[in-house]
Amino acid sequence: MIVRVVERSVQEIGKSLLITLPKEWVNLLGVKKGNKLKILISERGTLQVSPEFIDGDEHTTVTLHYDQHFKRRFLRDYFNGNERIVIKFKRPLSEVERKDLYVFLKRFMNAQIIEETPTKKVVKCFKIDELSIDECLRRMFFLCMNIFDEAVEGRSHAKMQELLDTMRRFYYMLVMQVRRFLSEGKYVKENQIPLIRALDFRMVAEKVERIGHFAQELGMSKHLNIKYVKIARDYFQRSFNCFIKPDYDKATPLWQEAWVIQKQIEKKIDQAHKSGNIDNYQEFSTLLWISRTSKDISMLIR
């Protein structure tokens, strides 16, 4: 998000051109003489300046109280990059509450309980610098494809849920990487991408996670129409590949193909509605959402 725009006059010293840094930016990030700055040069000629490191406490600890708003606050503090999150309890948790808490924390790839007492749990969020935005998205895609395969071949509900949970963890890690990239200028080497591309990765990640949920729903169908599931899976795969490369020439025919696929599925939905076949109606409705969401991915190509 752009807070405000400042202007600087270009100065010339010797044979070099220079501009000064805004004082409020320098003070906010603690930049001092001798610090190194990274400068990203975009395809459109814009520059993004960010510190290689930011002084300050990198081991932030926050404390949360376990109540009805706990999950929402945990997500906020997790995405804000806090390294230690202390969860306090007014009373010992019941077995149901303890299981629910463990299931919730399991969603986060880099979060782990390191201390546990009847009155509190300490969650440590390990650093994620070793994974790039691109790698997180690719892993999400392969996990999503595995959910499709499981829906068609294995039909193991437990396996699909495990794949979906793992995909969700990579989704959270990708969101954290993008937020860090945008707000602090911190990134691993592989994340040196244009700003608009980072935003597109964030949007595609959300759509891939949604398709993973749709694929899991298909696995619950009593009489799965394998033919149309494979059509939807193939279209999703090609749409994602066009985005990740990126390949505009191969993406444009997909937009027209989506219209053809959606018309076929809508016809099946209409037939199921007229015959009163609820299972088929729900299945083809899910396939329609997969095709629409996949098309959205193929259109995020610049």
Q: What structural domains and CATH numbers belong to the chain?
A: 11-51 (2.10.260), 61-125 (3.30.110), 133-298 (1.20.58.220)
Helices (H), 150-277: 157-183, 195-219, 226-244, 248-275
- What the block records as the tokens of 22 is 């805004």
What's the pLDDT score for residue 57? 45
Helices (H), 150-194: 157-183
What's the pLDDT score for residue 44? 56
**Phi and psi torsions of 261, nearest 5°:** -60, -45
- Count other C-beta atoms under 10 Å from residue 19's C-beta: 12
Buried b (16+ CB within 10 A) or exposed e, 180-208: bbbeebbbbeebebbeebbebbbebbebb
Give the three-state DSSP class for 242: helix
Could you tell me which residues are beta bridge partners of residue 11?
18
212-234 residue pLDDT tens? 999 999 988 877 888 999 999 99
13-53 residue pLDDT tens? 877 888 888 887 777 777 888 877 877 776 556 777 776 54
For residues 99 and 89, what is the distance between their CA atoms, to the nearest angstrom? 15
Please name the residue that has the structure tokens 């099946």.
268
Residues of the chain with pLDDT under 70: 1-4, 42-45, 51-59, 127-130, 154-155, 183-192, 302
- Count other C-beta atoms under 10 Å from residue 89's C-beta: 16
DSSP 190: G
- What the block records as the tokens of 132 is 């790039």
- Per the CB < 8 A criterion, the answer to whether 107 and 113 are in contact is no
